[in-house]
Amino acid sequence: MATGLNQFAKMNGETPSAANMRFGIVVATWNSNVTERLLEGAIAGLLKAGCHESNISVKYVPGTVELTLGAQFFAEYTDVDAVIVLGCVIQGDTRHFDFVCQSVTQGVTQLMISWNMPIAFGVLTTDNLEQAMDRAGGKLGNKGEEAAATAIQMVALQNEMDLASEANGGIHRESAPTINTPSRDGGNNKVN
């Protein structure tokens, strides 16, 4: 989500109604001064779109790396339509920043594909605390609210595709087709 000119709302138009949608929100407690503001934005965005407060469930995990498993727990143990993950990773003096960012990005992407469930990525990756605060309700908006809008839009898209599938005789693929890809040893790997 580009931050520079806070173009999110303009690029994506009006957010669909979330009146009949259920959301799980997973919040990292690391950098809680930032993530709590992201949570406020996410909840405000969901409520503004018509989501009932009773259809919003919030759970906390220790850090950003744990967001993926927290989101999987929502997918596995609840009936939510989408999950929103909220975290904040601030660059330090070591490469730890890179490993955390890569882990959560890949984990959430893999989880979305595996569970066929929208998971909105509301993780800030900034150089300093000031940049994080600017994006957590400061002068550059609230990325938590943007993540909520993304989740709503993706649930609406999935619902639209489900209806179209039913109208076309129930065409629905449970998983991706198997693809043969070259392996390092020259053979083929089957990838689903």
Active site residues: 96
Asked if residue 143 lies in contact with residue 1, where contact means CB atoms within 8 angstroms, the answer is yes
Asked if residue 170 lies in contact with residue 64, where contact means CB atoms within 8 angstroms, the answer is no
3-class SS of residue 46? helix
* Whole-number Å distance between alpha carbons of 127 and 108: 22
Residue 140 parent element (H or E): none
Position 81, amino acid: D
CA atoms within 13 A on the CB side of 171: 5
Helix, strand, coil share (%) of the chain residues, nearest 5: 45, 20, 35
State the DSSP string of 70-114. Answer: HHHHHHHHS--SEEEEEEEEE--SSTHHHHHHHHHHHHHHHHHHH
